[in-house]
Amino acid sequence: MQFRPRQQVTAAGVAVVALTLALGACSSSSSSSTPAANSSGGGSSSSAGGSANVSGTLNASGSTFQLSFQQAAIAAFKSVQPNLTVNYGGGGSGKGRTDLAAGTVNFAGSDSTIPDKEASNFTGKTVLYFPVVIGPITLSYNLSGVSGLKLTAPVVAGIFSGKIKTWNDPAIKADNSGASLPSTAITLAVRSDSSGTTANFSNFLVLAGGSAWTLGTSSTIKWPSTARAGSGNAGVAQIVKSTPGAIGYVDYADAKASGLTFASVKNKAGNFVAPSTASATAAAENATVKPDLTFSCIWTAGAQSYPITYQSWDLVIQKQSSTSTTAALKAYIGYLLGDGQKLLPTLNYAPLPSNIDQQAVAQLSKIGS
Amino acid sequence: MSTAVKADPAVPAGSASPLSTRRPLGDRGFQILALASGLLVLVILVLIAVSTSQQASSWFSAEGLKIFTNNWDPATNQFGALAFIYGTAITAVIAIIMAVPVSVGIALLLNEVVPYRWSRPIVYVVDLLAVVPSVVWGLWGILVFAPWIQHIYASIASGVKGVPVLDALFGSPTSGASFFTAGIILAFMITPIVTSLSREVIATVPQIDREGAYALGATRWEMITGAVWPHSQGGVVGAVLLGLGRAMGETIAAALVIGASPVITSHLFAPGYNMPAVIANQFGEASGEFRAALMGLGVLLFVFTIIINVLARGVVERSARRKRGA
């Protein structure tokens, strides 16, 4: 049976498609390699990575807490190293750590250190922690006529476990004798998605709330069933803003962006401190920094420290496969630790205290060694 | 004695068996390609089932039958998923209850009432509902629909306060993002599917049956229940089950409007949670047994939707066979 010319062409096309699919399926899968930065022909990449021209691409993902800082830093970094493109994908600290272990990103943003159950993903690899940003978690509330609310950790624990149900509860009144608290019911605003913000806030409640807090600490908490959940810090901010009598834990940057009122929290030294750039940096100055640059700013000493301050690191695998990636990482992370810190106050984050910043800069030389 | 082999129309006359070497190369190649494509789909389905079950195995082995308890607490490593199974069932049932009368009504309208000229634009508009992306439904739901309907829920709740059954179903707590809102959004999303499938099934009813009913003096409604419905009930039930399968699996729309509260409650206006929503919301930060639990929820969802779809096909097949035999 002879095909007519048009049918011959169709048959040939189908055969080509089938062959391509078969070849694609049969060929061995390429190993997922870390995208490498290439040096441009003109510039040379020095291992110091500072003033020399570095080019290529760095890919990253992870903490959404760092996201707006990373976006601002990437834009500003373009004028420092125009040939180096950095991509920060967000997606959550857990995703960032998973991507780093799999080798699909060059660095990962994470609000917490690598937990024990993920440690097995990093066997044989040394991970370097570079702290890059500090920020307070506010307790934002919506109560008309009440400003300057003061809260202590056991009271916050009682509110968020559902034991304290109305605003005029004696426990809240005890710290706020000057304010006229209504009998409105308290509506909790919490995160519907898993997040490092939840993990750090619940960590604060464990450390400071004592026996008043029984729900543990994790990036997902079993809140009381009456809690309203929103997606992301912005979602929680929206619930607080639109519900009279609501209280929620919102990142400082999002709380200021939504124009929310937030409470002062009693710190370890016994003072009621409001969240701000200065009180967050004060908390970090009093943190105990381990040799690998991990630390916790939650519930630290210091008269002016804000007790619910958290921090975020950029994680880098010490052993790098190419010198140009090493140079690119040193250049970008060096920028984040140097001039990038000046961007933080305008973004409503807090810069690193100088002692931590210096130690981080000194650790830069370890990348790729 | 003549051979009892049935003539295969694809084989040129004179060939003895379908895959004999005397078949032209093009035919053979096409047959192999078609077979491979069909097998590929089956293989992919099996691989998905196997790989997700492997990833979820640590959850199944650690919890055993405790996966059917209502205790989802990642902080203390407890992953009982009953609240999500309940939520999936409730929202799917609400969606079906709201979508099926409307969809079957539209299908009957298009086939029985509306002149043919008008049916094309109506079909077009209904199919446009299917084009709206799931995430757009979710965003519209949480930003526009939920705040608006919250007031309606609150007034219904205060109205039924104290009434025995109604208070349990429609009483407080109420919230814009709730089981009922998710059910409504899902109903919007499954209406186009159920409508178009029902319409096609109802259109296959022979005109002679309709005219016979009219000839016997039936009213339009009696004609529909007497002549149209017996023919098409199998197909419509199959369409409803397919819609149910879709409603169970819709992820982003449900994740945004369901309220993210893992509780089992009879109050339909209260915030809830279902399986696709919890996977979408909590996967980013999950690791270890938490991640295995979420994968396990995916496996459960997969199994449920396969069962529903197999049921749907079975019902359609059975009614088609009965129709052919009748």
A34 confidence band (pLDDT: 50, 70, 90): very low
Here the CATH number for the domain that contains residue B249 is 1.10.3720.10
CB A329 within 8 A of CB A278: no
Q: Taking CB atoms and an 8 Å limit, are A94 and B286 in contact across chains? A: yes
Residues in chain B: 326
In a domain, B14, yes or no: no
Q: How confident is the model at residue A49 (pLDDT cuts 50, 70, 90)?
A: very low
Each residue's pLDDT tens digit, A258-315: 999 999 999 999 999 999 999 999 999 999 999 989 999 999 998 999 999 999 999 9
Q: What is the mean pLDDT of residues A345-356?
A: 91
Please say whether the beta carbons of A151 and A212 come within 8 A: no
Mean pLDDT rounded to a whole number for chain B: 87
- How far A314 CA sits from the closest chain B CA (Å)? 16
> Chain B residues with CB inside 8 Å of A19's CB?
none
**Roughly how many angstroms between the first and final C-alpha of chain B, as a whole number?**
35
For residue B65, being part of any structural domain is answered with: no
pLDDT score recorded for residue A37: 40
Is the pLDDT confidence value at A29 over 70?
no
- Residue B159 contacts by C-beta under 8 Å, 6 or more apart in sequence? none
Q: Is residue B140 part of a domain?
A: yes
What's the average model confidence in pLDDT over B165-176? Answer: 86
Distances (CA, A) of A236 to A220, A251, A301, B15, B139: 14, 10, 29, 73, 15
- What's residue B323's pLDDT? 66
| Distance to chain A for B192, nearest Cα, Å | 29
pLDDT band, residue B10 (cuts 50/70/90): low
Identify the H or E element spanning A265.
strand A264-266
Chain A CB contacts of B287 below 8 Å: 94, 97-98, 115, 117-118
Secondary structure class of B4 (helix, strand, coil): coil
Dump pLDDT digits (tens) for B190-222.
Answer: 999 999 989 988 988 999 999 999 999 999 999
Question: From the CA of B243, how many Å to the nearest CA of chain A?
Answer: 27
Position B52 scores a pLDDT of 94
pLDDT at B113: 87
H-helix segments, B204-288: 207-215, 220-223, 229-249, 252-257, 275-282
CA distance B128 to chain A (A): 28
Residue A47 has pLDDT above 50, yes or no: no
* pLDDT (0 to 100) of residue B13: 57
SS3 content of chain A, % helix, strand, coil (to 5): 40, 20, 45
In a domain, B292, yes or no: yes
What does the block give as tokens for B289?
Answer: 């047994």
Convert B194-205 to b/e letters by CB count within 10 Å (16 or more is b). bbbbbbebbeeb
B313 within some domain: yes
Interface ipTM: 0.73
At B9 the pLDDT is: 60
- Which pLDDT does position A46 carry in this prediction? 38
pLDDT surpasses 60 at B20: no
Stretch A52-73: mean pLDDT = 89
Instruction: Using the predicted structure, report yes or no on whether residue B157 has a pLDDT greater than 70.
Output: yes
pTM for this predicted structure: 0.79
Residue A228 CA to residue A100 CA, distance in Å, equals 33
Q: Rounded distance, CA B99 to CA B321, Å? A: 27
pLDDT at residue A26 in the model: 55
A327: which 2 tokens? Answer: 């140079």
Instruction: Quickly state the pLDDT bin for A51 (edges 50, 70, 90).
Output: low
B7 located within any domain: no
Which residue, among A158, A134, A143, has the nearest Cα to A279 in the 3D structure?
Answer: A134
Check CB contact under 8 Å for B286 and A194.
yes
Give the whole-number percent of chain B exceeding pLDDT 70: 92
CA distance A118 to A306: 30
Q: Does B74 contact A95 at a Cβ distance shorter than 8 Å?
A: no
Nearest CB among A95, A223, A226 relative to B284 is that of A95
Q: How far apart are CA A98 and CA B85, in angstroms?
A: 28
Question: Domains in chain B: how many in total?
Answer: 1
Amino acid B319: pLDDT: 75
What Rg, from alpha-carbon coordinates, does chain B have? 25
- In tens, the pLDDT along A156-166 reads 999 999 999 99
Establish if B165 belongs to a structural domain.
yes
In-domain check, residue B29: no
Q: Does the beta-carbon distance from A220 to B282 stay under 8 Å?
A: yes
Residue ranges making up the domain that contains B302: 84-325
Query: Average pLDDT over chain A, rounded to whole?
Result: 85
Categorize the per-residue pLDDT at B300 as very low, low, confident or very high, splitting at 50, 70 and 90. Answer: very high
Query: Residue A2: its pLDDT value, please?
Result: 58
B26–A3 C-beta distance less than 8 A: yes
pLDDT score for A322: 87
pLDDT single digits (tens) A87-136:
998 888 888 898 999 999 999 999 988 888 788 888 888 999 999 999 99
Residue B1 has pLDDT above 60, yes or no: no
Query: Which chain A residues touch B33 with a CB distance below 8 Å?
Result: 14, 18
Please tell me the distance from the alpha carbon of residue A92 to that of residue A196, in angstroms, as a whole number: 8
Residues A217-236 have pLDDT tens digits of: 888 888 988 888 888 888 89
